[in-house]
Amino acid sequence: MVKIHQIKGLYKFEPKYTFSQLEQNLPQGFEKKIQDAKVYKAVRRLTDKVYPTEENSYEKKWFDFYLPLKRRGYFILVPMGIVLYDKRFFLAFPHSNVEVLTGKEKNEFYLGLIHQTLEFSRILKKDPRIVAKAIPFDIRTGRVLGKYVLEDLLPIEKKEELLKLYGDYLKSGKKSCGVSLNDYLNAAALCYKAAFGSKTNGLTAEKMYRSWADGRDCSMLDIKNRKSKKNFSHWLNAESHCGGHPFEIVFSWQGHGIHLFPPGLNSPCFTLRVTNYMYALAFLEMVKALIKNRIPFKAHKLKSVLDYLSGESYFTVNTYAEHWIFYSHED
């Protein structure tokens, strides 16, 4: 990091605004609109200084502008992108956008901000290495391997062992000729017992399902003849698309948990899928149980789950994705 006095000594430059002022002036939601001819002209002047990063017949994009700011005695740079579309400028800040059009409004803060960015761009041209020193870690975006983020990792040999076990099982080509409600609940019970162990003691297959599943079963448990494949198939085709989650056998408040889809939904076998990777280890235990009991099934994206658990998948930093983290000085 760079102290303010160092910037003043090296470049005779001191930022006019603080990072907290930027936060106060950014939109509370996602986007705001500024109709100020002076701000528009200043942004035009800034973009005229450099070639676009991307350009087509509809728009131009510049990705490499940096706002010079002060924060707690340090000099920092905050990345800012600019898009020109249909004679409108869009300023892209971390997690928010500002649309700039010509008009009669007066916005001294944004005008000063653009002027500061323009002034500092001359210094940046002389010493581009300062970018690496001045962008705080809580603002930078990028990605990092999971092995540097997760505390408990699945050993690589365990990953390879399970992939081989699953691959060999698929070669057997086992298929299902349809299932009854009892067949479905019994397959789910195998999953529950494998994942939750002693918590399933004394519970019937139905009670396990009622304990861990989503609860919106689209009347699946109301099927009268639970031994009939024909009755289950009729419900599957006519009622299972009610908008509920009858096959989410492990419910999650965040996204979805674990699904066990029965044969018949475009597949000649069960499909096991985990969405919220908080349940990834439970998912693996279910996979092993279904293989052990010779249940025809496919494990959706098993390799991706194993990559995650073994730390071989990437986490985005300070941006949202399937796996992501936000940097914090405290942790």
199-212 pLDDT, tens per residue? 999 999 999 999 99
DSSP-H helix ranges across 85-204: 108-126, 130-134, 156-171, 181-196
**Over the stretch 119-158, which tens digit does the pLDDT of each residue have?**
999 899 889 999 999 999 988 889 999 999 999 999 999 9
| Under 8 Å between Cβ of 109 and 16 | no
**Over the stretch 87-102, which tens digit does the pLDDT of each residue have?**
999 999 888 899 999 9
How far apart (Å, rounded) are the C-alpha atoms in residues 275 and 259?
8
| Under 8 Å between Cβ of 98 and 90 | yes
| Under 8 Å between Cβ of 273 and 261 | yes
Residue 107 DSSP code: -
Instruction: Say what the pLDDT of residue 259 is.
Output: 98
Please name which of 191, 189, 247 lies closest in space to residue 218, comparing C-alpha atoms. Answer: 247
Instruction: Say what the pLDDT of residue 64 is.
Output: 87
Instruction: Say what the pLDDT of residue 267 is.
Output: 83
Q: What is the mean pLDDT of each run of 10 residues along the chain (331 residues)?
A: 90 94 84 92 94 94 94 94 95 90 94 95 90 91 93 95 96 90 98 97 97 95 96 92 93 94 87 96 98 96 97 93 85 57
